Chains A and B, each alone.
Chain A
């Protein structure tokens, strides 16, 4: 029984934090508000630290680590507003490592470990809610392979990545599965979204009868388990990143209210301020508890994995919302200026709150799972 990280895991987190403190300040992030938003030097630095190799098995040149090892790193990515597609690539790596065919693994994983391949998942659709079951993007049999049609939204960095991992339904009433496509292929069009978070990039991606061979289906056949893992991993990763961003906002609020003097005193000495910060700490620490446990669930795959992930996504989403809103409030008028950095954390956390299912959707998952467990008992 040990609900803590090892010294090695903390040490790795510290080295990542130090690198990002030096290399990825909000001032640097502000230089990427236009253009493709992809910072090659940052990507190479993240790769050199070994972050992209973490989820690649050792036989493919990676570090062979898992989500518990990754948890503190993803929290740090949230804390430092690390742009995609690093996190998206890590999520996809785990899916490919677990569900890809030997050929797909050999083709993709060594390149990922070396930092030479960027992948993003295409999950959300305008027609659907938050459930992958609502997916309308469809792969229909065509020749020796499939023809992919449909439209995805909020696909991270679709202009910068080398591969897309697309959730699709195989046949009108068939199972869900994943396909790997190159976004430059004929029949694929990308439109750059206007986003709440200007430090991120995402695209609407349309697939019109995109022809693909059977070898582009992840695992060689539609794998619903792979889809389920992808959305759970996405939700857990978002939970960890929101927790990181929220932790930074609390630090900023404590620092600012400790220095800002009104009525002849630092406003942080007033209980109206302190008590809100104390409540934010309770939310933050419990978010960590929830998000770390979700990472454990992904690493160990217990029967209740989905429920444990949903618990985290629901709790961390509400907590990050509250912490970011309060943190901005505690800065007063300056908090509403573009000049102050805090809005970038608010925007990132808000974006993550609605990716891979919002809190209400995940609470409903928890309720359904709880009732099912009670039935089974």
Chain B
């Protein structure tokens, strides 16, 4: 057990830090922030992602032959930590980097990897994920969007939903039904679809936070070349499980942890000034202190949970269904932080962004609303609990 970094890793961290400092806009985080307009914000994030690529930081731990640097997972984690620490923009091609890439590395052909991975890294091609449908949420294997072979193409018809960033995406990886007669898990295939294909319509959905990150995506006789099939025909379910394992994995969680911790520290700073009557502030309230301390503990344990999982990966053990445990842990933990934030704000909790009296200009209210999605997306908590109980604890189905 060793929590120290080697001199080479420390040098790497210093190098990352100085690059970030030199490349973020002057005054970043104090006077300069992300654009308020949602579209402009996403374009800003994409520009940042391209800058990271030009700096040589994209796909750090990927194999060199696909444009990566073959760095260690520890270096990858250091980069994620430093970016989060600097409050650097998140990027727009999160799904491409975190989901498409590992899925293709595991299950794609060499040709597919060479075709798609470099353009994910460069930010030239943004990706979205076509899994959920209106009638296939937690029961993902019941998807109905069909792909019927017609010569050298599949003809795709159906509807996907909650397709985050579809309106900005060039590509979508999706689950389609290729054998309606087979048992539901055995008739599914994994397709890569060019979003400019005729017959695809994207309609943004407005979220409770007011943002429109996700969409409904319609497929009407969209023709997809057969070489865009990943893995074998009707073998898509197994591939989807790989994708979901990465979606719930520790690498994603480590960067989130830094943002949760930052919000929690801002909350504690706020608690020292938010009045509770004429003589006291929120931080003097012993009940609130207990709740804040609980969050301080839990957010630190989130980081340490990730490091434990990372250490297993570093020893070459594959990322398995335990990643459901990480996601179940952090999603509920983070909701706890924003609930405590609302309690800390007390009487001003209902004041939202834009009101001059809203503490932190509504940061905590936005966080509270956004946090309601944590226990739903990439598999609801109920689905994570099914996975943990059946596949980790071995309980009967």
Residues of A at the B interface (CB closer than 8 Å) are 1-5, 68, 250, 254, 257-258, 265-266, 268-269, 271, 273-275, 277-279, 281-282, 285-286, 288-290, 292-293, 296, 311, 314-315, 360, 363-364, 366-367, 370-371, 374
Q: Which of B289, B297, B308, B393 contacts A254 (CB 8 A)?
A: B393
| Chain A residues within an 8 Å CB radius of B296 | 311, 366-367, 370
Q: Is the CB of A1 within 8 A of B392?
A: no
Q: Is the CB of A374 within 8 A of B307?
A: no
Shortest A369–chain B CB gap in Å is: 9
Q: Across the A-B interface, give the 6 residue pairs with the lowest CB-CB distance, nearest first.
A: A274-B389, A278-B385, A363-B293, A278-B388, A367-B293, A275-B385
| Chain A residues within an 8 Å CB radius of B390 | 274
Whether B83 sits at the interface, judged by CB under 8 Å, is no
Shortest B52–chain A CB gap in Å is: 23
User: Which of A266, A277, A289, A290 is the most central at the interface, judged by chain B CB atoms within 10 Å of its CB?
Assistant: A289
Q: Is the CB of A292 within 8 A of B385?
A: no
Interface stretch of the complex, out of B3-11, B146-154, B203-211? B3-11
Q: Is the CB of A367 within 8 A of B289?
A: yes
Q: Is the CB of B395 within 8 A of A363?
A: no
| Chain A residues within an 8 Å CB radius of B322 | 285
A36-B226 Cα distance, complex, nearest whole Å: 77
Q: Is the CB of B268 within 8 A of A371?
A: yes
| Chain A residues within an 8 Å CB radius of B298 | 315
Within 8 A of A (CB), among B63-90: 74
**6 A-B pairs (CB sep. < 8 Å):** A1-B314, A293-B304, A311-B300, A314-B293, A363-B297, A374-B269
User: Which of B286, B293, B294, B304 is the most central at the interface, judged by chain A CB atoms within 10 Å of its CB?
Assistant: B293
| Chain A residues within an 8 Å CB radius of B388 | 277-278, 281-282
Q: Is the CB of A257 within 8 A of B395?
A: yes
A273-B269 Cα distance, complex, nearest whole Å: 41
Whether B397 sits at the interface, judged by CB under 8 Å, is yes
A266-B307 Cα distance, complex, nearest whole Å: 36
- Sorting the interface of chain B by its residue count into under 10, 10 to 19, 20 to 34 or 35 or more gives 35 or more
A290-B74 Cα distance, complex, nearest whole Å: 21
Within 8 A of A (CB), among B294-327: 294, 296-298, 300-301, 304-305, 307-308, 310-312, 314-315, 322, 325
A274-B387 Cα distance, complex, nearest whole Å: 10
| Chain A residues within an 8 Å CB radius of B283 | 371
Shortest A180–chain B CB gap in Å is: 31
Whether B329 sits at the interface, judged by CB under 8 Å, is yes
Additional A-B contacts beyond A1-B3, A275-B389, A285-B325 (20; CB < 8 A): A3-B310, A254-B393, A258-B395, A258-B396, A265-B396, A273-B395, A274-B389, A277-B389, A278-B388, A281-B393, A282-B388, A288-B308, A289-B304, A292-B308, A311-B296, A311-B297, A363-B289, A364-B286, A364-B293, A370-B268
Number of A-B contacts (CB under 8 A): 135
CB-CB under 8 A for A275 and B292, given A1-B3, A269-B395: no
Q: Which of A1, A274, A281, A311 contacts B74 (CB 8 A)?
A: A1
Shortest B235–chain A CB gap in Å is: 28
Q: Which residue of A is nearest B315, CB measured?
A: A4
| Chain A residues within an 8 Å CB radius of B389 | 274-275, 277-278, 281
CB-CB under 8 A for A274 and B294, given A4-B308, A296-B3: no
Q: Is the CB of B393 within 8 A of A374?
A: no
Q: Which residue of B is nearest A287, CB measured?
A: B301
A279-B297 Cα distance, complex, nearest whole Å: 18
A289-B310 Cα distance, complex, nearest whole Å: 13
Q: Is the CB of B301 within 8 A of A289?
A: yes
Whether B354 sits at the interface, judged by CB under 8 Å, is no
Q: Which residue of B is nearest A265, CB measured?
A: B396
Q: Which of B297, B384, B395 contacts A268 (CB 8 A)?
A: B395
Q: Is the CB of A1 within 8 A of B5?
A: yes
Whether B183 sits at the interface, judged by CB under 8 Å, is no
CB-CB under 8 A for A289 and B385, given A254-B395, A363-B293, A367-B289: no
CB-CB under 8 A for A360 and B290, given A275-B389, A371-B268: yes
Whether B386 sits at the interface, judged by CB under 8 Å, is yes
User: Which of A3, A269, A279, A281 is the most central at the interface, judged by chain B CB atoms within 10 Å of its CB?
Assistant: A3
Q: Is the CB of B329 within 8 A of A275?
A: no
Q: Is the CB of B311 within 8 A of A281?
A: no
A258-B74 Cα distance, complex, nearest whole Å: 40
Q: Which residue of B is nearest A295, CB measured?
A: B1
Whether B27 sits at the interface, judged by CB under 8 Å, is no
Shortest A177–chain B CB gap in Å is: 29
A5-B308 Cα distance, complex, nearest whole Å: 10
Shortest A269–chain B CB gap in Å is: 4
Q: Is the CB of B307 within 8 A of A274?
A: no
CB-CB under 8 A for A3 and B297, given A274-B386, A278-B393, A370-B268: no
Q: Is the CB of B396 within 8 A of A266?
A: yes
Q: Which of B3, B289, B314, B392 contacts A281 (CB 8 A)?
A: B392
| Chain B residues within an 8 Å CB radius of A3 | 1, 3, 304, 307-308, 310-311
Q: Is the CB of B329 within 8 A of A286?
A: yes
| Chain B residues within an 8 Å CB radius of A274 | 385-386, 389-390, 393, 395
A4-B393 Cα distance, complex, nearest whole Å: 21
Q: Which residue of B is nearest A69, CB measured?
A: B1
A269-B305 Cα distance, complex, nearest whole Å: 28
Q: Which of B74, B268, B301 contacts A286 (CB 8 A)?
A: B301
Shortest A253–chain B CB gap in Å is: 9
Whether B37 sits at the interface, judged by CB under 8 Å, is no
Q: Which of B2, B265, B289 contacts A2 (CB 8 A)?
A: B2
A315-B292 Cα distance, complex, nearest whole Å: 13
| Chain B residues within an 8 Å CB radius of A68 | 1
Q: Which of A4, A266, A269, A366 contacts B1 (CB 8 A)?
A: A4
> Residue-by-residue, is B369-397 near A (CB-CB < 8 Å gives 1, otherwise 0)?
00000000000001011101110111111
CB-CB under 8 A for A277 and B395, given A2-B1, A363-B290: yes
Q: Is the CB of B395 within 8 A of A1?
A: no
Q: Is the CB of A277 within 8 A of B294?
A: no
Q: Which of A2, A275, A374 contacts B268 (CB 8 A)?
A: A374
Q: Which residue of A is nearest B288, CB measured?
A: A367
CB-CB under 8 A for A271 and B1, given A1-B74, A4-B312: no
| Chain B residues within an 8 Å CB radius of A370 | 268, 293, 296
Shortest B13–chain A CB gap in Å is: 12
Whether B191 sits at the interface, judged by CB under 8 Å, is no
